[in-house]
Amino acid sequence: MRLLVVGGGVAGPAVALAAVRLGLEATVLERRAVADPEEGSWITVAPNGLDALEALGVLDEVRALAVPSRATSMFGATGRHLGDVTLGKPLADGTVALTMRRSALAVLLADAAQQAGALVRRGADVVSVEDEPGRPVRVVLADGTAVEGDLLVAADGVRSRIRRTVDPAAPDARYVGLANFGGITRAADLDPSVVAGLAPEAWHFVFGRRSFFGAHPLPTGDVVWFANVPREPILRAERAATTDEEWLALLGGLVAGDAGPAAALVAAGSLELAGDSTYDLPHVPTWWRERTVLVGDAAHAPSPSSGQGAAMALEDAVVLARAVAAHGLDGPAAYERSRRARVEAVVRAGARSSSAKIPGRLGRVLVETMLAGVFRSGVAARATLAQTSHRLGDPVVPSSPSAG
């Protein structure tokens, strides 16, 4: 069985890795020509995603490029402490959630898939799919060449092009009302009191007056941060016309007056992600057709506020590869049966987290009091524990006993 996997983000290389470990063939086709592990935004992979990485046999390598994240401390705009929330149930060996660059995770997974026997082709932009009954599936690349396989795995992200070839009526991704910015501030550019005010190995979240801000210290003393700004989507033209300095000035204005580290971090920081519009994808009615199946954000994208998108993509990858190894071309149906209810519940929870970041008609003080009540009641912690306690069971291929 030859898998053609479109997309070299998180889900694609993870499917390829699991598939080759299970004796299938896999080729990953990624549009971007160069893989840079040092670019873009940071993500936190919750313990359920780490469990999937463990099943894939790469958790130790991931641990080496990540920093632990034990909890999130929530604050209001005036500095009021609203509560602390766990980032999930640790793995049996005590491993807590891990924070890393998304690009570093993607490159690690692609390298691991390649070492295990998959082919990873970069600069391979899939422009069309031919999937007719009784024939191998065929994709055409932007350079005019074509590649054939027995099953096409569409891991091409929340704005998936292939979703519409599976179902022409498939929904578009939904804008959740927040623009995303990510940055890093170097220790050398920071007053030490700013870092001292941040708990180590934790996210520090501020429900600010005009934006939602998150900061995480690194062991080097540098601090990574993000800001979610409620506004209409940022379109390509605005992004192209706005410099990083202009975005930073805008962010500086939005966080001005909020208590906490945001103003200092923005003032001395540089942007790594600018003006990214935030989407989710709650319900895609058709996940597979003929020889094509959707996986990861292409099938079900939780808003980034859920902190679960990458973890869901990793869980998907293991479940799909196992289902195809066990059931061949009937694998996608088995995969959908075991995944749909779980991922759609996670997307719904993510949408609620996003809307809590958008100031509504209720005043800030009321919202802070409500949030403090929610955190104190343990509702948020219980929801996180429920999401992150999910485990996939055994490794994809159990490690063989050592010889001798």
List residues near ligand FAD by CB under 6 A.
6-12, 29-32, 41, 43-45, 49, 102, 124-126, 155-157, 161, 180, 276, 296-298, 301, 304, 307-311, 313
| Helix, strand, coil content of the chain in percent (nearest 5) | 40, 25, 35
Nearer of residues 276 and 290 to ligand FAD, judged by Cβ: 276
**Tokens encoding 169:** 């009526």
* Cβ at position 15, least distance to ligand FAD in Å: 9
Q: Minimum distance between the CB of residue 10 and ligand FAD, rounded to whole angstroms?
A: 4
CA 201 to chain centre: 19
DSSP 232-299: SPPPHHHHHH--HHHHHHHHHHHHTT-SSSHHHHHHH-EEEEEEEEEEEB---S--EETTEEE-GGGT
Q: How far is the CB of 369 from ligand FAD (least distance, A)?
A: 27
Rounded Cα–Cα distance for residues 147 and 149 (Å) = 7
CB of 29 to ligand FAD, least distance (A): 5
CB of 334 to ligand FAD, least distance (A): 20
When the beta carbons of 309 and 331 are compared against ligand FAD, the nearer one is 309
Q: Report in angstroms how near the CB of residue 361 gets to ligand FAD at its nearest.
A: 27
User: 125 or 189: whose CB is closer to ligand FAD?
Assistant: 125
Assigned token pair, 332: 């996608």
Q: Which residue has the tokens 């066990």?
A: 326
Q: Are 154 and 163 in contact (CB under 8 A)?
A: yes
Nearest to 265 by CA among 225, 235, 230, 233: 225
Q: Are 166 and 288 in contact (CB under 8 A)?
A: yes
CB of 264: closest distance to ligand FAD in angstroms?
A: 22
Report the residue number, 109 or 368, with the smaller CB distance to ligand FAD: 109
In the complex with ligand FAD, the residue whose CB is nearer, 44 or 185, is 44
Residues 6+ apart with CB under 8 A from 393: 55
Task: Kindly tell me which of 297 and 336 has the beta carbon lying closer to ligand FAD.
Answer: 297
Pairing of strands 42-45, 25-30: unpaired
5 versus 368: smaller Cβ distance to ligand FAD:
5
Which residue type, as a one-letter code, is found at position 62? V
Shortest distance in whole angstroms from residue 373 CB to ligand FAD = 25
- C-alpha 155, offset from chain centre: 13
Q: Which is nearer to ligand FAD, 156 or 258 (CB)?
A: 156
